[in-house]
Amino acid sequence: MVVGDISTGTELLVIGGGPGGYAAAIRGGQLGLDVTLVEADAYGGTCLNEGCIPSKALIHASGLAHAVEHAESMGIHARADVDFQELVGWKDGVVDRLTGGVETLCEANGVNLIEGRAEFVDGGTARVAHGGEGQGSESVEFEHAVVATGSRPIEIPGFDVDDERILDSGDALSLETLPESLCVVGGGYIGMELSTVFAKLGTDVTVVEALEDVLPGYDDDVTDIVRDRAEELGIEFRFGEAARGWTEADGGARVETETEDGETNTYTAERVLVAVGREPAADTCDLEAVGVEPSEDGHIETDDATRTAAEGVHAVGDVAGEPMLAHAAYREGRVAAEVVAGEPARLDHQATPAAVFTDPEIGTVGLDAEGAEAEGFDPVVGEMPMRSSGRALTLGAETGFVRIVADRETGFVLGARIVGPEASELIAEVGLAIEMGARLGDVVGTIHVHPTLSEAVAEAAANARGTALHTTNR
Ligand code: FAD
Ligand code: NAD
């Protein structure tokens, strides 16, 4: 210990106060552990400060403005006068409420909070450098540690994010003025969600995507719907082109792209959003000191109890690799604390859902038919198109479908793909069905309120059994 240092001891040290870290800390507190949570930047991590929450606030608000202006078929003729700065201010208010809530919840559960950057010194000690110059540092002796240091945007060569013209997602969510034009590099989760926001607010958006379609990993009939709608919103796609670099042009940027055949193109825009993926932040807390070496792709390997290769050291959330989703981080954080407290908790990602908050939304959970076959099931598939849902029509949102997959013989629900309004909410019912070992008959036998979108889930399940009332059975 350095002379003059403060030294404290804790049963559970949590490094990082995002969804993974604060879930571990709060759950640890609930279980009676003496917990210390160290956060270097802002409680709530990426999710609350520059990820899920601010993006969903802007998605909702831009969707509202756009919907008001495009409701002529309902006899509504209106103009939305959007004050971009006020809109961003409202979003910031939402973020502040939630990040403040994290601190309050941690404190209410007896978690000791330290603001600073933690680094391991050895298998039982970490040093925390307090934020700000001259703020000093302290040593924390721990029995168990949870590494929840999250992830950061991948930077591509030739694109140094300068917060001015070249933005990462955090910058794009905090702009002070609405750009007239935006070039989005990457048509994945962030590229699709944020290009929808800006297109709906009136920005001219071009998406440059290295692959031949948006949202890699999602089925074609799912991405077709989302891409078609994005094009309808005026978003222009340049597929099969990888961004290679940029130069200044007319106060903005000229983005250079290259196809696989070596053909080059340029696109000029006021701003450029680079959204080509995120990488685990496994280099912020000196893992070497505890003998943990990140895998080749940079994440910390863990077992189903969130344990790393080092005794007493756990890792959760984005730093522990895919799925890099906030709800996966919450679960992993919870499991880590329970394992530390001696409970028999284990991770099981078979019913971890995913949602993309595009227009329309996508929700997925469990297996698709192909995946089910690969796992040795004989799958049966049921579908309900949104155009057959009374509720979807009353919302003016008839594009999309619910597709449910089950085991033919037993009827056990195995998964679903949903595209349509509130798909991110609807998918929860199928997740619960999988978790509970429910069969198609259980979903069909559950009386759903009419008229609701959730009826479409039950109708898809009925369709798989040949008993749907509101769509033609196969
Ligand atoms: P993080 O939230 O990244 O938190 C890590 C924390 O650790 C940070 O606060 C950091 O400051 C701190 N830290 C790092 N090193 C140290 C150190 N040495 N000492 C102390 N503190 C340290 N996921 C979804 O499920 N749904 C969505 O809708 C969604 N939308 C997203 C939108 C965007 C634009 C982005 C960028 C991400 C989105 N995500 C979404 C992903 C989600 O944000 C992450 O999966 C989630 O935040 C991971 O949580 P985490 O706790 O692992 O890490
Ligand atoms: P992503 O992996 O979803 O998409 C990145 C895209 O960039 C890919 O389609 C890839 O082909 C493309 N790309 C890579 N290099 C390129 C280049 N040089 N030129 C053109 N295209 C290029 O990554 P993301 O959109 O940055 O999101 C990161 C992560 O954040 C996601 O994987 C997810 O874990 C999380 N996230 C989740 C949500 C949600 O749950 N709704 C929302 C946003 C982000």
- The CATH number given to whatever domain includes residue 383 is 3.30.390.30
Please identify, among 223, 245, 276, the residue that sits at the C-terminal boundary of a domain: 276
Helix axes 189-201, 220-232, angle to 10 degrees: 20
Q: Report the pLDDT value the prediction gives residue 178, as an integer from 0 to 100.
A: 98
Question: Alpha-carbon distance 399 to 230, whole Å?
Answer: 13
Q: What is the pTM (predicted TM-score) of this model?
A: 0.97
Judgement on whether residues 203 and 331 belong to the same structural domain of the protein: no
Q: Name the DSSP class of 85.
A: H
Q: Is residue 372 part of a domain?
A: yes
Distance 166 CA to ligand 1 centre (A): 21
Regarding whether 373 and 336 lie in a shared domain, the answer is: no
* Residue 140 within a domain: yes
> Is there a single domain that holds both residue 434 and residue 388?
yes
User: Are residues 287 and 269 part of one domain?
Assistant: no
Look at residues 311, 338, 333 and name the one whose alpha carbon lies nearest to residue 320.
Answer: 333
Per-residue pLDDT at 134:
73
Q: Are residues 188 and 118 in the same domain?
A: no
352 alpha carbon – ligand 1 mean position (Å): 17
Q: How far is the CA of 278 from the centre of ligand 1 (A)?
A: 10
Contact (Cβ atoms closer than 8 angstroms) between residue 429 and residue 444: no
Q: Which pLDDT does position 133 carry in this prediction?
A: 67
pLDDT tens for the chain, 474 residues: list them: 454 467 899 999 999 999 999 999 999 999 999 999 999 999 999 999 999 999 999 999 999 999 999 999 999 999 999 999 999 999 999 999 999 999 999 999 999 999 999 999 999 999 999 976 678 899 999 999 999 999 999 999 888 888 789 999 999 999 999 999 999 999 999 999 999 999 999 999 999 999 999 999 999 999 999 999 999 999 999 999 999 999 999 889 999 999 999 999 999 999 999 999 999 999 999 999 999 999 999 999 999 999 999 999 999 999 999 999 999 999 999 999 999 999 999 999 899 999 999 999 999 999 999 999 999 999 999 999 999 999 999 999 999 999 999 999 999 999 999 999 999 999 999 999 999 999 999 999 999 999 999 999 999 999 999 999 999 997
- Round to whole Å and give the CA distance between 196 and 305: 38
Find out whether the peptide bond into 385 is cis, omega within 30 degrees of 0.
no
Q: In the block, which residue shows the tokens 């609405």?
A: 178
Q: Dmax of the chain from CA atoms? A: 77
Å from CA of 209 to ligand 1 middle: 24
How far does the centroid of ligand 1 lie from the alpha carbon of residue 297, in Å?
Answer: 18
Shared domain check, 119 and 41 = yes
Q: Give strand pairing partners of 365.
A: 416
CA atoms within 13 A on the CB side of 316: 36
Asked if residue 56 lies in contact with residue 83, where contact means CB atoms within 8 angstroms, the answer is: no
- Domain for residue 245, yes or no? yes
Q: What residues make up the domain containing 187?
A: 166-276
Q: Is residue 354 part of a domain?
A: no
Instruction: Give the mutation target among 167, 278, 319, 424 for probing the ligand 2 site: most ligand atoms within 8 A of CB.
Output: 278
> Which residue from 154, 190, 325 has its CB within 8 A of the most atoms of ligand 2, so it is best to mutate?
190
| Both tokens assigned to 270 | 């006021």
Q: What is the DSSP letter of 470?
A: S
3-state secondary structure of 351: helix
Tokens for 94?
A: 């939402």
**Residue bearing the CA closest to ligand 2, atom 39:** 356
432 lies in a domain? yes
End of a domain among 245, 276, 307? 276
Whether residue 238 sits in one domain with residue 326: no
Count the residues in the chain. Answer: 474
Provide the CATH number for the domain around residue 255: 3.50.50.60
CA dihedral sign of residues 465, 467, 470, 471: positive
* Measured torsion, CA atoms of residues 443, 445, 451, 455, in degrees rounded to the nearest 10: 20
Q: Do 32 and 134 lie in a common domain?
A: yes
Residues with CB under 6 A from ligand 2: 156, 185-191, 193, 208-211, 216, 242-243, 275-278, 324-325, 355-357
Residue where a domain terminates, one of 243, 276, 309: 276
Q: Which residue is catalytic, options 60, 299, 327, 450?
A: 450
Q: Tokens 């002070």 — which residue?
A: 176
Same domain, 139 and 26: yes
Which residues face 248 on adjacent strands? 253
Any domain includes 336: yes
What distances in angstroms separate CA 204 from CA 162, 199, 236, 462, one per listed residue? 21, 6, 9, 43
63: Cβ contacts below 8 Å, ≥ 6 apart: 200, 359
Q: Is 450 a catalytic residue?
A: yes
Whole-angstrom distance, CA of residue 401 vs CA of residue 423: 9
If one counts the domains in the chain, the total is: 3
Same domain assignment for residues 335 and 201 = no
Backbone angles phi, psi at 61, to 5 degrees: -65, -40
Same domain, 99 and 31: yes
Q: Are residues 139 and 205 in the same domain?
A: no
Is 452 inside any structural domain? yes
For atom 28 of ligand 2, the residue with the nearest CA is 277
Instruction: For residues 471 and 413, give the distance between their C-alpha atoms in angstroms, rounded to a whole number.
Output: 20
User: Does residue 474 fall inside a structural domain?
Assistant: no
Q: Whose CA is nearest to atom 27 of ligand 2?
A: 277
| Secondary structure of 331-344 in HEC code, one letter for each residue | HHHHHHHHHHCCCC
Q: Which two tokens stand for residue 406?
A: 């089950």
What pLDDT shows up at residue 1? Answer: 46
* CA distances from residue 339 to 114, 271, 314, 345 in whole angstroms, order as listed: 23, 46, 10, 6
Pocket perturbation via mutation, ligand 1, pick of 41, 47, 196, 306 by most ligand atoms within 8 A of CB: 47
